[in-house]
Amino acid sequence: MASTKEHDMKLIGILGGISPFSTSYYYELLNGLVRERLGARHSARCLIHAVDFAGVEAMHVARDWPGVTKILTDAARSLEAGGADCVVLACNTMHNVAEDVARAVSIPFLHIGDAVAASVVEAGISRVGLLGTRFTMEAPFIRSRLEASGIEVIVPDARERGELHTIIYDELCAGIIEPASRARFLRVIERLAAEQAIEAVVLGCTEIGLLLDIDALPVAGFDTARSHAEAAVGFALDLGPEPARGD
């Protein structure tokens, strides 16, 4: 067990609310990881700026990415002004505007795609399935970070992408956990393993970890929220290299 004298813990700025359930999951993960590293009486130093999910959701459904960018860059700046030492955007889909958010602050922005790519590479895996919202599965903002690390990325077919997207928005983002939806996710993973020879699956939506037991999947699983939290705690405790700041 390390002492607080050994680690002057940095303040993690969490840009959350998208959805509130994933934000609370992040908070739980961060505190659990700090306890593992420093002992049971320790907790993560966090500053949370939670935005209104309904407003952000409506904007990105309408493809109003400039509106989303304005909300998230303002929130990131407020975290920096509040003393945060880094920014963690607690949502895969909103990483579509991650570069703009990173440029809006002078403190490090920890990208979720880089965090999960590092976890996959460390495990020696080179071919993964990517699950998430339709935006995450179809756009390059997460896929490109994985591919840049030499990881081949496979996504479900169009029908499956639509079904998973609906489960995420209509159920998981509302805090609803349905056994039938869990079974649907598992069938998609099983098909990708059988037909596309994926070695592992990336749970590319921070709410999916609330639905699936990562230790009970038919292939290896990587929860992007957990990888992101591990990167944030590593930064806060000086356990690894400092992430790059925004351009």
**pLDDT tens digit string along 162-186?**
999 999 999 999 999 999 999 999 9
Question: Is the pLDDT reported for residue 54 higher than 50?
Answer: yes
- At residue 6 the predicted structure's pLDDT band, cuts being 50, 70 and 90, is very low
Q: Which of 48, 55, 100, 54 is nearest to 73 (CA)?
A: 100
Average pLDDT over residues 94-99: 96
Conformational region of residue 133, where left means phi above 0, alpha means psi within -120 to 50, and beta covers everything else = beta
Q: Count other C-beta atoms under 10 Å from residue 52's C-beta.
A: 12
pTM: 0.90
CATH among 3.40.50.300, 3.30.590.20, 3.20.20.60, 3.40.50.1860 for 113-224: 3.40.50.1860
Pairing of strands 127-131, 200-203: parallel
Encode pLDDT of 205-240 as tens digits. 989 988 999 999 999 999 999 999 999 999 999 976
Q: Quick one: pLDDT band at residue 122, thresholds 50, 70, 90?
A: very high
What top-level class would CATH report for the domain 12-112+227-236? Answer: alpha beta
12-112+227-236 and 113-224, same CATH topology: yes
pLDDT, residue 7, reads 54
| pLDDT given for residue 240 in this prediction | 60
Span 137-155, pLDDT tens digits: 999 999 999 999 999 999 9
In three-state secondary structure terms, 200 is: strand
9 neighbors 84 (Cβ within 8 angstroms): no
Evaluate whether 220 touches 239 at the Cβ level (below 8 Å): no
DSSP classification of residue 45: -
Residue 72: name the closest of 86, 84, 93, 89 by CA. Answer: 89
| Of the candidate ranges 1-5, 10-14, 23-27, the one whose mean pLDDT is the lowest | 1-5
SS3 237: coil
Residue spans per domain, the chain: 12-112+227-236, 113-224
Q: Which of 168, 236, 241 is nearest to 205 (CA)?
A: 168
